[in-house]
A = this chain, B = another copy of it.
Amino acid sequence: MNWNTQFADRTALSRRSAVRELLKLTAQPDMISFAGGLPAPELFPVEAIKAAANEVLTEIGGPALQYGETEGVGALRDWVAAQFSRARFTVRRENVVIVSGAQQGLDLLGRVLLNDGDLVAVENPTYLALLGAWRPLGMRFLPVPSDAEGMDVDALEALLAQRPKLVYTIPTFQNPQGTSMSLARRIKLAGLLGAGRVALLEDNPYGELRYSGEALPHLFELTAQAGADGRLQSPVIYSGTFSKVLAPGMRIGWLVADEAVIDKVVMLKQSADLHTSTLNQYITLALLRDGVIERQLPRLRAAYRERRDTMLTGMERHFPDGVTWTRPDGGLFLMVTLPARMDAADVLKRAIAEHVAFVPGEDFHLQGGANTFRLNFSNAQPERIAHGIERLGALLHRMV
């Protein structure tokens, strides 16, 4: 059987993610890796998860290991719903589906919403694995410029003439830039959404990881309202995850949206994986009830703030003139821009020889970006960050 002739045409639209493949390359212990987007495993609440697993298996037992409803464990959906409710509107269990990591939510939504040829407006650059997940659907991306204040909403408004079906954005501590959409732009964008001019998927994996600056409202909370029948009406679909605040290995995320959207997502999820791990949903619920997130967040913010500051300080000191970078208030990433004539992939080859790694920015872009690269600051101790940035700075001095 020659399997190479057997694959569906759409598989030709798939590409391997450069990030995932690089993770393998950079796993050597002597490599200082700013590639990948891993949270720090030494900060995971391992003892709390061990206690929660023990509690769940002792108190719930068999049912915590049984098949479950596709929508997710009811009490976990209720917890999410309560987090997102406001005085002006109520999010109900029916507005929430638990997914097998936020990535699954993105994959399911693409399949539920997008026809061949549909347009989706995204920041340029944006999350690589969203591009990868949706490209095989035959849809097209419409790049919207993005700067230190996030997506350029005026530019987006002009692009609405092309009638995109959806806007996808990570408004807070964006991957790969680490930048956030300003309050003024959020309010203007909420106006476009509220006027029914377009729908939006708000992806917010990093929002809780703020190290400086003031908290900003979700696009979801700016636009959701109660319908005449009391049901949630929202032009925004919100994607969240416990991966960055608890641990990614449990693969628990969620979507919040109008019931009509949740209903279609659930129907597809049933075919995609029946349901998300019952055991991990119950463990997560036990962690939430025990207040583990509230205890984790100050620890995570303090540790990641120090790592971000170490990286930014090192860059100020060691990076040559002509190289610029973002200064994020939170999240896991920042983005470096080299002089326009330079190619970050060339820099990476030489950096790896010096045992420093990062991800070139081109794959995150729909246009340009060959002279950019992404640095992750969450998964190395400050002294290693300082050391790696110094080496990288020395290399850049030789190359710029």
Whether, in the assembled complex, A389 has its beta carbon less than 8 Å from a beta carbon of chain B, the answer is no
Cβ-defined contact, B6 with A199, below 8 A: yes
Distance in angstroms from A66 CB to nearest chain B CB is: 5
Interface residues of A in 269-303 (CB under 8 A from B): 270-280
Whether, in the assembled complex, A20 has its beta carbon less than 8 Å from a beta carbon of chain B, the answer is yes
Q: Determine the main DSSP class of A at the interface with B.
A: helix
Tell whether A17 pairs with B260 under 8 Å between CB atoms, given A8-B113, A46-B61, A65-B248: no
Q: Among B111, B196, B270, which residue has its beta carbon within 8 angstroms of that of A16?
A: B270
Tell whether A66 pairs with B38 under 8 Å between CB atoms, given A6-B113, A280-B277: yes
Q: Among B17, B68, B100, B112, which residue has its beta carbon within 8 angstroms of that of A8?
A: B112
Q: Cα distance A246–B105 when bound, in Å?
A: 27
Cβ-defined contact, B42 with A133, below 8 A: no
Q: Cα distance A250–B54 when bound, in Å?
A: 15
For chain A, the bracket of interface size reads 35 or more
Q: Among B11, B36, B41, B261, which residue has its beta carbon within 8 angstroms of that of A62?
A: B41
Cβ-defined contact, A66 with B132, below 8 A: no
**Which residues of chain B come closer than 8 Å to A271, judged between CB atoms?**
14, 103, 107, 129, 132-133, 136
Distance in angstroms from A152 CB to nearest chain B CB is: 23
**Which residues of chain B come closer than 8 Å to A268, judged between CB atoms?**
11, 14, 136
Whether, in the assembled complex, A214 has its beta carbon less than 8 Å from a beta carbon of chain B, the answer is no
Cβ-defined contact, A57 with B62, below 8 A: no
Tell whether A62 pairs with B46 under 8 Å between CB atoms, given A8-B115, A54-B53: yes
Cβ-defined contact, A247 with B111, below 8 A: no
Whether, in the assembled complex, A49 has its beta carbon less than 8 Å from a beta carbon of chain B, the answer is yes
Q: Among B20, B101, B112, B277, which residue has its beta carbon within 8 angstroms of that of A11?
A: B112
Whether, in the assembled complex, A267 has its beta carbon less than 8 Å from a beta carbon of chain B, the answer is yes
Whether, in the assembled complex, A83 has its beta carbon less than 8 Å from a beta carbon of chain B, the answer is no
Cβ-defined contact, B50 with A65, below 8 A: no
Cβ-defined contact, A199 with B272, below 8 A: no
Cβ-defined contact, A250 with B267, below 8 A: no
Whether, in the assembled complex, A251 has its beta carbon less than 8 Å from a beta carbon of chain B, the answer is yes
Q: Among B20, B243, B257, B273, which residue has its beta carbon within 8 angstroms of that of A270?
A: B20
Tell whether A54 pairs with B50 under 8 Å between CB atoms, given A4-B260, A129-B270, A271-B132: yes
Copies, count: 2
Tell whether A1 pairs with B235 under 8 Å between CB atoms, given A249-B64, A274-B103: yes
Q: Cα distance A267–B137 when bound, in Å?
A: 15
Whether, in the assembled complex, A70 has its beta carbon less than 8 Å from a beta carbon of chain B, the answer is yes
Tell whether A261 pairs with B3 under 8 Å between CB atoms, given A17-B270, A67-B38, A273-B101: yes
Please give me the residue from chain B that is nearest to A4 by CB atom.
B260
Q: Cα distance A39–B67 when bound, in Å?
A: 9
Q: Cα distance A273–B22 when bound, in Å?
A: 18
**Which residues of chain B come closer than 8 Å to A129, judged between CB atoms?**
270-271, 274
Cβ-defined contact, B1 with A234, below 8 A: yes
Distance in angstroms from A91 CB to nearest chain B CB is: 15
Q: Cα distance A50–B50 when bound, in Å?
A: 9
Cβ-defined contact, A249 with B66, below 8 A: yes
Distance in angstroms from A269 CB to nearest chain B CB is: 10
Distance in angstroms from A179 CB to nearest chain B CB is: 23
Cβ-defined contact, A133 with B3, below 8 A: no
Q: Cα distance A199–B16 when bound, in Å?
A: 25
Q: Cα distance A199–B195 when bound, in Å?
A: 52
Interface residues of A in 225-263 (CB under 8 A from B): 233-235, 243, 247-251, 257-258, 260-261
Distance in angstroms from A254 CB to nearest chain B CB is: 14
